[in-house]
Amino acid sequence: MKRHRANIRAAKFGDALDIFRLIKQYPAELLARPIGDIVQNIDRSLVCEVGGRVVGTVSWQILPEMGMPRSPSVEIRSLAVARKHRRTGFGHALVREAIRRVRRMHPTQIIALTFTPSFFAKLGFVPVPKEHLMHKIYMGCINCSKYDSPFTCPEQAMALKIRGRPG
């Protein structure tokens, strides 16, 4: 396959439908996101373009804490690369850029729930027990319609600890 030049950039409102379609390509791996949610959170999304076409996306969300943030966490979510462009490095490039942008907020950790832990391990993420991510489970997993319990879901929880976080 011919190597294509990719452009990773912040998503724009006009990218929402392309992002929606990319996520829908992976119903077994990704939770569907309504187009309204994508639009509302477009400022926390990146896209990968090749030849002017969106072929990949990733987003992130800040996970809530009670009171003052003592251990703020950010979740990487909705990572999708068009099947034709898989194994090109675009997914890693998207996640690396998302990490770079998220680091500016100085979270304690960046997390991901994934069916491909080896992908995230190559980026420095390590497995963590889901019980360590109760805020994520409460906010997202509890409403999942795919599995009867967040603890029976086969997704692996992964975390990237951020060093040097200001107090």
**Could you give all domains of the chain from N- to C-terminal order, each with its CATH number?**
6-161 (3.40.630.30)
Handedness of CA 125, 131, 132, 135 (dihedral sign): positive
- Given strand 6-10, what is the order of strands in its sheet? 6-10, 45-50, 53-63, 73-81, 109-114, 156-161, 126-127
Q: What is the pLDDT of residue 80?
A: 98
Nearest to 96 by CA among 137, 41, 56: 56
Contact 76/98 with Cβ under 8 angstroms? yes
The four Cα atoms 52, 53, 55, 61 give a dihedral, to 10 degrees, of 80
Q: What is the pLDDT of residue 167?
A: 47
Handedness of CA 32, 36, 42, 47 (dihedral sign): positive
Contact 80/30 with Cβ under 8 angstroms? yes
Q: What is the CA radius of gyration of the chain?
A: 16
CA distances to 24, 113, 161 from 9, in Å: 21, 23, 24
Alpha helices in the chain (DSSP H): 16-24, 35-40, 90-103, 117-121, 134-139
Residues of the chain with pLDDT under 70: 1-4, 66-69, 134-152, 164-167
> pTM of this prediction?
0.88
CA distances to 41, 55, 72, 124 from 118, in Å: 27, 22, 24, 10
Q: In the chain, what are the helix, strand and coil shares in percent, each to the nearest 5?
A: 35, 25, 40
